[in-house]
Structure 1
Amino acid sequence: MPRMNDSQHPDQAPTTGPESPDAPLHRRGIKSYVLRAGRMTAAQTRGLEEVWPRLGLTLADGRQDLETLFGRRAPVVVEIGFGMGASLIEQAETHPDTDFIGIEVHAPGVGKLLDEADKRGLTNLRVYREDALAVLERCLPEASLDTLQLFFPDPWPKKKHHKRRIVQPAFVELVRTRLKPGGTLHMATDWEAYAEWMAEVMEAAPGYENTAGPDTAPYVPRPEFRPLTKFERRGEKLGHGVWDLIYRRTD
């Protein structure tokens, strides 16, 4: 399961709670991930070398016109940190009338996703191998997304590392500006403390409403459209919980 994290910078003092809404999204030396070296399989290499020119996107491509990018007008879903891509591939294949954009920094996962997308003949999927915040800021238009998905980001459980968590007030405000009115931010985590953190950030964020009912708030039952991963199946057998949160943009 993907974990989004990063290495600590000595100039940054540790924080133990969500940052202020006006905190910068790109503080010097602080990102929400660590680039890890990994061996590439033949299929992953094929994806990066042969399929990337057709389905890959970069920051240098600039601001996207999503209708032009996909050649049609359709709902658009963005997933940050798709790992090896199994869940995103399943969604794109199951929902051909929806367009998907995946953002992931790790080469093996990007290569795997591209290889699978090509083998399955998917045309409703594009991929960035870039920092997600930069993609949101520089490449995705305001009010253009129907859903943004953030599944199982790195929880950074140590208090001194909480500043590395991607879910911060500034992040969810940036997401809100990219969602269409009525669009949703869907997060899931298997760390209860991080679920509570997510709920704290979202309940304080302007322009969102929780979609959970009174019996389960702030969480929602796992929606059927979110694929159940091997990671979750293993966790269920061990008695681990998973918490889903879905918030809707109200303005």
Structure 2
Amino acid sequence: AAEKEIIAIPKIKIIGLNYSQAIKDLKTWHEVNTEGIQLNEHHNQTIVEYAINDMQEGRIVLIFVNTVEHTLFLDDLFKQYNTEFKVKMVHSSIGTVLQKEIKGWNKRLENLEPLKQIDHEKFLEEREIINRQLIPLHLQAKRLNVNSKKQELYKQWLADKKIQGVIATSTWREGINIPSIETIILGGGGKESQKILQEIGRGLRRAEGKKFVKIVDFFNPSHRFLIEHFGMRFMQYLDKRWEFLYD
């Protein structure tokens, strides 16, 4: 298909990350995924810096992650860099972590009700403490709910190059065709071949002046889970006989 100039040729860029003893000592995949990928400062700074570098070259960037929490972390980092480029988040929910937090505080509020009859003043104090926790959580949930309804708008903005990048969860892995995308950053790791191929597939449509789509992946040598998962992704690239990019 590439010969027919219908599909852009994927070219793979591998970025090595620093070794971390703290990540090596983690036991479960949940811990490794959280501390080694989603909330890992080095991993996410590398993503943002590489994305900004490509945007400076005029490339439109799509960053794939697995959770809403990861999109928020990256969104905050982009804001810290105070870049001129516009980057939006694409997701379909407020995220499981925020849902659990709100549910937990609401449960504490319910459990507080019997105290009203026993010590009304103490009840009011405790309720005020809980509400101070709930208010910002509800505001965050409202912001995310509003943002989740803007997927089509951001898709059009990306196609028109009104924005330079999007941080997306799985909601954009299928059914999205945006020819303007020139760089796809696989920011969430993972080993599932279908997931990886779906993410890469979002940038395969040709556009004027677009010869290839750059696929950016990361190798973190800090934990056997991360090494094994990268190995499975790497085998996909070899099986497809995709070209690798070198500095």
Give me the TM-score of the superposition, normalised by structure 2.
Answer: 0.36
Structure with more relative contact order (C-alpha pairs < 8 Å, separation 6 or more): 2
